[in-house]
């Protein structure tokens, strides 16, 4: 779901908002709740519930909620095996990066912020971790593209 995205050819930063993320959670049948202290977020598959920690920055909240939505989307249940757990976490990070970031927006923000990851992440309202995840995915994807002619 690419809620709140600009159409091809439009110029300007169009961010996924918290209400967009909340609406997406409703669409996929996930309940949202909050908790105090502890982990930033958790997804409980048995109840289709995501709980996020109170008092996070907007970057942390959006990145955490999008990450947990990834777990919900993939219907992840806690993995005891470290390899499978790491794979679930990577997939949830990649889901969040794809949900929250757009190629044109990232490129524009990187130029505007002189490739400074921290400043770019703040502008895009994501954590540096989610921005790095997106950049790594872009690098992997661009390796498979053919060189452009002319």
pLDDT for res 18: 84
pLDDT greater at residue 15 or residue 71:
71
Mean pLDDT score of the chain: 87
User: What average pLDDT score do residues 96-125 get?
Assistant: 95
Output the CA–CA distances (angstroms, integers) from residue 55 to 40, 52, 76, 130, in the order listed: 10, 9, 26, 19
| Location of structure tokens 């409703």 | 26
* Residue 133 contacts residue 93 (beta carbons within 8 Å): yes
> Which of 37, 32, 35, 34 lies closest to 19, judged by CA?
32
Interval 5-29: pLDDT, tens: 443 444 455 667 888 999 999 999 9
> What is the rounded CA–CA span in Å between residue 144 and residue 60?
32
pLDDT for res 118: 97
- In this prediction the pTM is 0.85
Kindly tell me if the per-residue pLDDT of 140 is higher than 60: yes
């Amino acid at each position: 779901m690419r809620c709140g995205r600009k159409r091809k050819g439009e110029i300007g930063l169009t961010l996924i908002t918290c209400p967009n993320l909340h609406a997406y959670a409703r669409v996929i049948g996930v309940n949202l709740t909050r908790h105090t202290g502890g982990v930033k977020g958790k997804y409980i598959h048995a109840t289709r519930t995501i709980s996020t920690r109170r008092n996070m920055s907007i970057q942390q909240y959006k990145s955490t909620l999008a990450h947990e939505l990834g777990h919900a989307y993939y219907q992840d249940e806690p993995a005891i095996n470290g390899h499978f757990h790491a794979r679930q976490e990577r997939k949830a990070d990649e889901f969040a990066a794809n949900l929250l970031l757009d190629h044109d927006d990232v490129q524009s923000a990187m130029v505007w912020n002189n490739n400074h990851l921290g400043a770019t992440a703040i502008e895009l309202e994501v954590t540096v971790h989610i921005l790095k995840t997106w950049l790594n995915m872009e690098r992997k994807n661009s390796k498979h593209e053919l060189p452009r002619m002319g």
